[in-house]
Structure 1
Amino acid sequence: MDIQQQIVEVDTAGKKPRRFVFVLLQDFTMLCFASALESLRIANRMSGQDLYSWTLIGEGGDTIICSNGTEFKLQADLGELNRDDTVMICGGIDVQSATTKKVLSWIRREARRGVVMGGLCTAAYSLAKAGLLDGKKATIHWENQDSFAEEFEDVTLTKSIFVVDGNRITTAGGTASIDLMLKIIADDHGEDLANAVADQLIYSSIRTDQDTQRLSIPTRIGVRHPKLSRVIQAMEQNIEEPISPSVLAKDVGMSTRQLERLFRRYLNRSPKRYYMELRLQKARNLLMQTDMSVINVALACGFASPSHFSKCYRAHYNTTPYRERGAQAARLSI
């Protein structure tokens, strides 16, 4: 294949390469990092120029291990950057522990100097913990949305795959890094280059910040029934104050008995049971990802008392909320 015939002409007169500083947190997710880095590498290749440069840094400046066990050699510790650098913090499993005091201090210091700060995957937590997202829009991986919303009330959390709000950038993780980088490349050097990068990545559907990160309800449940989807959406949006089956049915123009039959037919459970599973799933996320008390977790998930919450939790997960949290703490200390 003759690469020279595929070069996308880019006018870089008077411009120096834009440098990205990837901050790798302990147990970061490789996919979100690799997706971002490879997009930049391919942009250089397709333009035939060094449009972008990058460096890998992290606490200690030695080595770091990602969530799949691969070890990376860092190029530097958390030091002073250039004001025109773009920082991309890469998060992953247990980002709370990975966001150490040293990391937070460094983030705040560099942000005060005007550096653009981005958080890939769960690293939106790191930015929010440092106070950089107060009053701004942001996103984070859907699995971490419940705990994030509970802890950072001053952040406008969205379900978008990525969000750019001023000099703060957040993504949902995974391949969302590609979409973000394609937008950055397009803004920097034009749509033609961004499209050429997408082609090289075999990325046929470029998403924008208007796209949401999760599959649609019909796709997730494997059923295409408009009224069923509307009821489930209402359930997902009203966890703290559950809506009764009769009200859910009335809102979609059905009787309670018809709604019962609909759930039994397509999901093999009652609406009440399905709703309970959604609430318990959120409760488990909060127990695993936050330090909220069990009482507050119960209230946030629509349970009137800790005892009722514990009873329902044990019936579904075969353990109590307290033991679940203790087991999580033990796993993280290994």
Structure 2
Amino acid sequence: MADDSFVQKGAAANLAVPFEGEPQDFYFLLLPKATMLPVAAAIEPLRIANQVTGTRLYRWYIMTEDGQPLHCSNGMVITPDTPLQPLPSDSLGFVCAGVEPHNAASEVTLNWLRRESRFGRSIGGICTGAFALAQSGLIKNHKFTLHWENQPGFLESYPNLEPSPNIFEISGPLMTCGGGNAATDMMLHLIEERHGKQLAIIVADMCLHVRSGGQAAPQKSNYAVAIGSRNQRLLNALQLMQESIEEPLSIGELCDRLDISRRQLERLFSRYLNQSPMHVYFDMRLSHAFALMNETSMSVTEIALASGFNSATHFSRQFKRKFGASPHFFRKGWS
């Protein structure tokens, strides 16, 4: 890629940013079926920072393991700039994944991540890139995150590594984000650290992006937003259900924990969700199983137990009722 392609003309007035030195390089390693949105959301703030300053502050390169074009999760093909290569000393490297992340990284990629970490490079994960970081042993005691949809499967594979619910985390040399527009927030944070708040604000405005308020912002809307109610007893019930997936509580145990009568609990769920408490709870457990089916290599029996079903047969029947295919056929269709 020619250097002049990193600085483009735009209608916005140039912002003078005092800067001397070499541009900072970003390398994005795309794994098979990587999600395109967060990759673009990470690169665009770098491009816009160059555009609005008229200065080559950043350069960015796409890598694949072998330098060959790669299919993203939406079927589009990305042609990389380079195969895996050693990173320059001041550069940042990000591994970008998407669907089916548990086996997306080959041993070649994992060894590359370990080698770059040993040489002191800052390494990050975008969307589900944390799977590769965990496989390569780079997470250790660092705070990290990945897309909320993939966190249940990640925890089953790596029970000693607890991802953050936040949109992004920067912990020493490790940088991770939950994907989607969270990649933009993480890049704006890095831009602000290196070149100041004013530039980060202008870049955010150019992206038509409202900043989240920092890395501590949660990835998901809370239950109050999701269900359109701030009834605290209902919110407490949903939270308790979510925390008790593997060992589900009976409705009596729920009522005891919540200090509410069964009749009150059923009225709450009927009024706000138009469903019974146990129906909501049951669907919650099946959704958890669906995530594990997609994101792990656990057996159907293991997934049934992890979702609170004592019988694999009963689990398979209910899974088929909700998703239209038995777990075995569902997994076969996605393999």
User: What TM-score, normalized to structure 1?
Assistant: 0.91
Separation (CA, whole Å) in 1 of partners of 2:99 and 2:313: 30
Q: Which residue of 1 aligns with 2:66?
A: 60
Q: Which residue of 2 aligns with 1:11?
A: 18
- Residues 131-185 of structure 1, C-alpha deviation per residue, up to 9 Å, x if partnerless? 1112222111111010001111232311110111111111100000110001000
Separation (CA, whole Å) in 1 of partners of 2:308 and 2:190: 41
1:154-193 paired onto structure 2 within 5 Å: 154-193=160-199
Choose which of 278, 283, 292 in structure 1 pairs with 2:289: 283
1:120-159 paired onto structure 2 within 5 Å: 120-159=126-165
Q: Which residue of 1 aligns with 2:263?
A: 257
Choose which of 212, 215, 223 in structure 2 pairs with 1:206: 212
Residue type at the aligned position of 2:226: R
User: What TM-score, normalized to structure 2?
Assistant: 0.91
Q: Which residue of 2 aligns with 1:241?
A: 247
Equivalent pair of 2:101/2:295 in contact (CA under 8 Å): no
Equivalent pair of 1:62/1:75 in contact (CA under 8 Å): no
Deviation at 1:210, TM superposition (A): 0.7
Q: Which residue of 2 aligns with 1:332?
A: none
Choose which of 279, 287, 292 in structure 2 pairs with 1:273: 279
- Residues 20-60 of structure 1, C-alpha deviation per residue, up to 9 Å, x if partnerless? 01112222111101111110011112222111111111121
Show structure 2 runs of 5+ residues with no match. 1-8
Separation (CA, whole Å) in 2 of partners of 1:4 and 1:305: 63
1:284-299 paired onto structure 2 within 5 Å: 284-299=290-305
Percentage of identical aligned residues: 38
Separation (CA, whole Å) in 1 of partners of 2:75 and 2:252: 49
Residue type at the aligned position of 1:189: H
Deviation at 1:304, TM superposition (A): 2.4
Instruction: Say yes or no: does 1:69 pair with 2:75.
Output: yes
Deviation at 1:318, TM superposition (A): 4.0
Separation (CA, whole Å) in 2 of partners of 1:174 and 1:260: 36
Separation (CA, whole Å) in 1 of partners of 2:332 and 2:61: 38
Deviation at 1:243, TM superposition (A): 2.3
Equivalent pair of 2:185/2:211 in contact (CA under 8 Å): no
Deviation at 1:5, TM superposition (A): 7.7
- Residues 216-250 of structure 1, C-alpha deviation per residue, up to 9 Å, x if partnerless? 11222334422211211111122112222233334
- Residues 271-315 of structure 1, C-alpha deviation per residue, up to 9 Å, x if partnerless? 111111111111121122111122221221122232332343234
Show structure 1 runs of 5+ residues with no match. 330-334
Equivalent pair of 1:240/1:300 in contact (CA under 8 Å): yes
Q: Secondary structure at the match of 2:153?
A: helix
CA root-mean-square deviation:
2.0
Q: Secondary structure at the match of 1:138?
A: coil
Separation (CA, whole Å) in 2 of partners of 1:43 and 1:263: 48
Q: Secondary structure at the match of 2:128?
A: helix
Separation (CA, whole Å) in 2 of partners of 1:245 and 1:217: 20
Residue type at the aligned position of 1:6: A
Q: Which residue of 1 aligns with 2:105?
A: 99
Q: Secondary structure at the match of 2:32?
A: coil
State the number of aligned residues.
327
Residue type at the aligned position of 2:119: R
Instruction: Say yes or no: does 1:115 pair with 2:93.
Output: no
